[in-house]
Amino acid sequence: MNNRSTGDEPQIWEIKKFLDDLESVKEDVLDLFDANPEASSFDSMWKVDLRDLYFSAVSSWQLLKSCPSLEGKERVTRAQNAMQFLEAAEEKFQQVLSEVKTVQDEKSEHLEHRLREAFRQVADSLREAIQSYMPERRGTPPKKHVIKAGPMEYHLPCSLCGEIAVSFTLGPISEDGGGKINYKGITKSTTLDYQLNELIFGLLDEGKIRQVHKHLRNNTFIEDGIDAYCPKCDKIYCKDHYVTRVVYDQGFYDCTYGTCPVGHERIIDD
């Protein structure tokens, strides 16, 4: 039996045309970098970034292209992989834009505009097509805002869909009482000294997310607090509901903004 949903394929080939447009803009941006070697000594890194952007988008498309011939779980996994490449391309896109902006050339402004347009078409159409192969998220708001998953393990679910957005877990404790707390959020994973931050577990036990956020801000190197937390809403959101935007300056990572579903924006990683 042939279960291929051939109806999806024209859309997939439409995206290939957008990719071809992106490729031609890529070549023009490469020419721009070549014509302005004095613009930056990072010129060769910029070319790598530009190629990364393009090939991440192409890889996403190739994975998408194989989805119609797959079924069930295999298809969903393939679509998820395609989405990961798309997300990588979107992050590279912000970086490349900041690099194009650095070039002071009469052509750079026009090229920046063309790059935006070409990439938007690719990204929007890829996202829509990939999502059609992914299961609908049927999440529901969680009953508890802090879930105690183990003696020293706490999960903070998204207040909209219940997806676990943040976890605090205690690692092994040495004889002198030293150890690490593992923190995993929506933009970063890191460790904190247990002895200096032991009170976090007490606060989590009492459901005091705001106080944990404040503690991280004031007393640790996680100076933007819980990355999945919107202080204005006093709520946790997962990475699908707290929309993140990575900002680059002249090709270098600057910070990440998060915007909650209500529209509150703040820097969640600097």
User: Can you tell me which of 241, 256, 258, 268 binds Zn ion, judged by CB under 5 A?
Assistant: 241
Radius of gyration of the chain, Cα coordinates, nearest whole angstrom: 22
Contact stretch for Zn ion (CB under 5 A) within 37-45, 64-72, 99-107, 158-166: 158-166
Contact stretch for Zn ion (CB under 5 A) within 52-60, 73-81, 219-227, 256-264: 256-264
CB of 237 to Zn ion, least distance (A): 6
Contact between residue 28 and residue 117 where contact means Cβ atoms under 8 Å apart: no
Binding residues for Zn ion, rule CB under 5 A, total: 12
39 binds Zn ion (CB under 5 A): no
Looking up tokens 């036990």, which residue turns up?
205
> Cβ–Cβ contacts within 10 Å for residue 118, how many?
20
CB of 243 to Zn ion, least distance (A): 11
CB of 240 to Zn ion, least distance (A): 5
Residues 197 and 155: their CA atoms lie apart, in Å, by 17
75 vs 241 by CB, closer to Zn ion: 241
155 binds Zn ion (CB under 5 A): no
Angle at the Cα of 266 (from 145 to 122), degrees rounded to 5?
100
Instruction: Write 29-33 long-range contacts (CB < 8 A, 24+).
Output: 29/96, 29/100, 29/111, 29/115, 32/100, 32/103, 32/105, 32/107, 32/108, 32/111, 33/103
230 binds Zn ion (CB under 5 A): yes
Mark 97-110 as b/e (b = at least 16 C-beta within 10 Å). Answer: bbbbebbeeebbee
Specify the 3-state DSSP secondary structure of 68: helix
228 binds Zn ion (CB under 5 A): no
233 binds Zn ion (CB under 5 A): yes
Contact stretch for Zn ion (CB under 5 A) within 115-123, 147-155, 179-187, 232-240: 232-240
141 vs 178 by CB, closer to Zn ion: 141
Contact stretch for Zn ion (CB under 5 A) within 18-26, 32-40, 185-193, 257-265: 257-265
Looking up tokens 């078409």, which residue turns up?
121
> Cβ–Cβ contacts within 10 Å for residue 193, how many?
12
3-class SS letters over 76-142: HHHHHHHHHHHHHHHHHHHHHHHHHHHCCCCCHHHHHHHHHHHHHHHHHHHHHHHHCCCCCCCCCCC
User: Can you tell me which of 111, 147, 161, 164 binds Zn ion, judged by CB under 5 A?
Assistant: 161
Contact stretch for Zn ion (CB under 5 A) within 65-73, 154-162, 169-177, 245-253: 154-162
CB of 268 to Zn ion, least distance (A): 12
User: Can you tell me which of 16, 232, 234, 249 binds Zn ion, judged by CB under 5 A?
Assistant: 232
137 binds Zn ion (CB under 5 A): no
262 binds Zn ion (CB under 5 A): yes
Q: Please give the residue ranges that form the binding site for Zn ion (CB under 5 A).
A: 158, 160-161, 163, 230, 232-233, 238, 241, 260, 262, 264
